[in-house]
């Protein structure tokens, strides 16, 4: 072999060897999940993903204790208040295919506040406890069919039976075993409908005429996907029942809203733990509102009845009534990450790819390369679509732009529904007017 050729081959080999050595010297991105001062990984699956872990605050109090299935879906979680006594205020249990099994919420004092049991991903029974008594909500295929309330001293009961086919709800009130009131109302609660706030119990309506002042609004609010530090949708998902008392314990989630807003409850029970930021997109459309103000004479008469026998009045009518009803639609989308790497470089890379994937789902442009998808698959990432439609209540997983267009069409083709009931207190009914 000629000497020049031999020298050329030697040169090429040297260059290739040098190149390989340089590549070997390039630091590799570390996607491992490690514990730190505030985050403790208790156990892992063989692929390195989290099995059990917990977050703690700077004082060592637990913030979150959770367990994942091997596929990354949430198995269970306990969530503690970060603002008051670090009490346990929420715990959830879910199936491996990400359906809710049960959930429990607790008061500041550590008492069970309300609990929900599920069948096939839909609520089957909800119990709400307070010093007033216990209410039991019964569901069939996720639709509310009855609410039964028993006073703490067993002196009175109320029963509301919903008949969707007939378009009615029948309210029966008993005191000391005797029926004192039985009335049939429209199926959907509207202006003038009353409630016992503590237990969210729908009750009889004392007003003779509840026709509200209906007017169009046509307000629309929308946002592009943004990063948020938690998955709390309280700014995007209106509480279905909004009471006169503006206070709520917003430790992480507004649990006062969870008891009465099925969409909100569904979201926070799926994403109670946020390992890093989450991507959030929402759209809110208010089509119309209906306001209600009883005549002065009726307000005066009811105030007198309430003052004469407050216990009987509350048993029949509760302590608040619907003053305004809002109609419209709500969209909420979340891009959530789990099993995030500890290193900042790796986490930033993953979040950038998650953003790119969500943008692709929304507009169908700039799809991830095979290499990028391989990197994103090192973590659990899910984009889910929620809306006020019952079929979207537990969310629809979106993988591409076709999935997104399908759910958007379902949403756009649906009719507006009641998205919020605003209440006024009976005790202010006459004195303030």
Residue 304 within a domain: yes
Q: Which range of residues forms the domain containing residue 405?
A: 189-433
Does residue 145 contact residue 139 with C-beta atoms inside 8 Å?
Answer: yes
Does some domain include residue 327?
Answer: yes
Integer CA distances (angstroms), 58 to 38, 41, 230, 275, 396, in order: 7, 17, 19, 16, 37
Q: Whole-angstrom Cα distance, residue 123 to residue 159?
A: 19
* Helix, strand, coil in percent for the chain, rounding step 5: 25, 40, 35
Rounded CA separation 180/309 (Å): 14
In a domain, 70, yes or no: no
Let me know: does 244 contact 428? Beta carbons within 8 Å: yes
Instruction: Please give the Cα distance from 318 to 69 (Å, whole number).
Output: 43
pLDDT tens, per residue, the chain with 433 residues: 554 544 454 444 454 445 555 445 556 889 999 998 889 999 999 999 999 999 998 888 889 999 999 999 999 999 998 776 788 989 999 999 999 999 999 988 889 999 999 999 999 999 999 999 999 999 999 899 999 999 999 999 999 999 999 999 999 999 999 999 999 999 988 999 999 998 899 999 999 888 878 999 989 988 889 999 989 888 888 889 988 765 544 444 566 778 888 999 999 999 999 999 999 999 999 999 999 988 888 889 999 999 999 999 999 999 999 999 999 999 999 999 999 999 999 999 999 999 999 999 999 999 999 999 999 999 999 999 999 999 999 999 999 999 999 999 999 999 999 999 999 999 877 654 4
Query: Would 16 be classed as within a structural domain?
Result: no
Q: Would residue 365 count as lying in a domain?
A: yes
Number of domains, the chain:
1
User: Per the domain annotation, does 2 fall within a domain?
Assistant: no
Q: Looking at the domain assignment, is residue 183 inside a domain?
A: no
Pairing of strands 100-106, 168-175: unpaired
CA neighbor of 425 nearest in space, from 317, 328, 283: 317
Tell me whether residue 306 is in a domain: yes
């Amino acid at each position: 072999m000629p000497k020049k050729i031999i020298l050329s081959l030697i040169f090429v080999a040297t260059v290739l060897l040098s190149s390989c050595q340089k590549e070997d010297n390039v630091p590799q991105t570390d996607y491992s999940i490690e514990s730190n001062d505030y985050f403790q990984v208790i156990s892992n699956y063989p692929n390195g993903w989290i099995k059990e872990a917990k977050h703690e605050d700077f004082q060592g109090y637990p913030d979150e204790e959770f367990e994942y299935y091997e596929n990354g879906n949430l198995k269970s979680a306990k969530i503690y208040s970060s603002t008051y006594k670090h009490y346990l205020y929420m715990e959830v249990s879910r199936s491996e295919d990400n359906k809710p099994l049960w959930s429990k919420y607790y008061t500041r004092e550590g008492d069970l506040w309300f609990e929900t049991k599920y069948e096939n991903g839909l609520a089957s029974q909800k119990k709400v406890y307070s010093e007033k008594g216990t209410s039991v909500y019964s569901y069939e295929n996720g639709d509310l069919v009855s609410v039964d309330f028993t006073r703490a001293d067993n002196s009175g009961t109320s029963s509301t039976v919903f008949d969707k086919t007939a378009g009615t709800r029948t309210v029966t009130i008993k005191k000391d075993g005797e029926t004192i009131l039985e009335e049939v109302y429209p199926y959907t609660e509207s202006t003038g409908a009353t409630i016992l706030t503590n237990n969210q119990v729908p009750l009889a309506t004392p007003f003779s005429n509840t026709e509200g002042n209906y007017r169009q609004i046509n307000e629309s609010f929308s946002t592009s996907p943004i990063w948020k530090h938690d998955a709390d949708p309280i700014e995007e998902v209106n509480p279905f029942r909004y009471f006169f008392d503006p206070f709520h314990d917003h430790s992480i989630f507004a649990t006062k809203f969870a008891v009465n807003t099925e969409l909100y409850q569904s979201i926070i029970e799926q994403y109670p733990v946020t390992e890093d930021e989450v991507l959030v997109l929402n759209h809110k459309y208010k089509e119309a509102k209906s306001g209600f103000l009883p005549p002065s004479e009726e307000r005066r008469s009811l105030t007198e009845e309430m003052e004469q026998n407050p216990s009987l009045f509350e048993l029949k009518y509760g302590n608040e009534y619907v003053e305004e009803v809002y109609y419209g639609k709500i969209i909420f989308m979340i891009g959530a990450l789990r099993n995030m790497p500890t290193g900042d470089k790796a986490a930033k890379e993953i979040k950038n790819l998650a953003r790119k994937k969500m943008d692709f789902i929304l507009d169908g442009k700039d799809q991830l390369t095979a290499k990028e998808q391989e990197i994103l698959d090192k973590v659990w990432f899910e984009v889910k679509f929620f809306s006020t439609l019952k079929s979207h209540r537990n969310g629809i997983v979106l993988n591409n732009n076709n999935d997104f267009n399908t759910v958007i069409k379902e949403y756009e083709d649906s009719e507006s529904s009641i998205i919020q009931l605003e209440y006024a207190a009976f005790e202010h009914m006459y004195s303030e007017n």
